[in-house]
Structure 1
Amino acid sequence: MTGDRDERALIAEWRDILAVHARTACEIDRALHRYGLGASDFEVLDVLAGGDAEDGCTFRVQELADRVHLSQSALSRLVARLEKEGLVDRGICSEDRRGVRVAITADGRARYDEARPSHRAVLERMLPKGALVKS
């Protein structure tokens, strides 16, 4: 291997990242359980609540999939469940009738706002400032 790190150091760093991710995801799931949400549910609501989509209020399913790092099929199942719970709405894209847009509902925003402090507290606790620095 070339570069500053040897293979063992590179693999050790990768495994450390995976361990931090796994521990943090478990803590997030535990913290959000009382709100009836899992980590992926919250991530979708978090993106939708941010409202930084192309049109400012809804996202195409593919845009969401790219942001929450789920396959399109997994995201479609998750969105269907969130829609059934009244947390999001799905509709056909006006610019492309084959596409589906997703938007957060008032109930979804309320649940998100309620759960957000717990989510952020887990991140603060599990991801100390500077622990994972991009190179």
Structure 2
Amino acid sequence: MPEPPWLDDREARAWRAMIGVMQQLTAALERQLVQDAGLSGADYTLLVPLSEAPGGVLRARDLGRMVGWERSRISHQITRMQKRGLVAREECSEDARGSMVQLTDAGRAAIVEAAPAHVAAVRRYFLDVLTDAELDLIGPALERVLDRLPDNGDDRARGERP
């Protein structure tokens, strides 16, 4: 395989800024969640889709796919959250090998408490520093990048699938 062309100054600047934003924004949002709500970023990542699901219930494998996590990571995180009373795990009535994850009342209360401060932090650290025109550019641009990324262990990019 031929060696790819090295990044030029403009490309390197954009790439390094992207890495910095991913690392530092994630860390800032994690600190805010722990400080204001006692939730980890992983807790919040799972509570959001569960809180939006009909009845607050999702199949564990579907929840994992929604957040882009491997089976072992989703299983371990659900176990941690179950011990804290944020979720309950039940057998899947359709498939004994699968499990359902149910948002508990405590889990719903936790996301309701955490969401306002989290949204404020997202605005403060990300949205408020961008103009409307920049948001109109960055949203579609980042969606194109997401479409090119491999999907949960699949080496092929999503945009290149048959």
CA contact (8 A) 1:28 1:38 kept: no
Segments of 5+ residues of structure 1 without an aligned counterpart are 1-5
Counterpart pick for 1:134 among 123, 140, 148: 140
The residue number in structure 2 matching 1:70 is 69
CA distance in 1, matches of 2:124, 2:85: 31
Residue 134 of structure 1: CA displacement?
A: 2.2
The residue number in structure 1 matching 2:56 is 57
**One-letter code aligned to 2:111:** Y
RCO higher in 1 or 2 (8 Å CA, sep ≥ 6)? 1
CA distance in 2, matches of 1:62, 1:21: 26
The residue number in structure 2 matching 1:44 is 46
Segments of 5+ residues of structure 2 without an aligned counterpart are 1-5, 142-162
CA distance in 1, matches of 2:20, 2:58: 31
CA distance in 2, matches of 1:73, 1:90: 15
The residue number in structure 2 matching 1:3 is none
Q: Could you say what secondary structure the match of 2:69 adopts? A: coil
Residue 71 of structure 1: CA displacement?
A: 1.9
Residue 10 of structure 1: CA displacement?
A: 4.1
The residue number in structure 1 matching 2:115 is 116
CA distance in 2, matches of 1:100, 1:120: 30
Residue 80 of structure 1: CA displacement?
A: 0.3
Post-superposition CA distance 1:87-115 (Å, at most 9, x none): 00101111111011111100100011001
User: Normalising to structure 2: TM-score of the pair?
Assistant: 0.70
**One-letter code aligned to 1:127:** F
Alignment CA distance shift 1:17-1:96 (3 Å): same
User: Normalising to structure 1: TM-score of the pair?
Assistant: 0.83
User: CA-atom RMSD, angstroms?
Assistant: 2.0
CA distance in 1, matches of 2:76, 2:28: 23
Residue 125 of structure 1: CA displacement?
A: 1.5
2:87 equivalent to 1:91 = no
Structure number with the higher helix fraction is 2
Percent of aligned positions that are identical:
31
CA distance in 2, matches of 1:132, 1:17: 12
The residue number in structure 1 matching 2:25 is 24
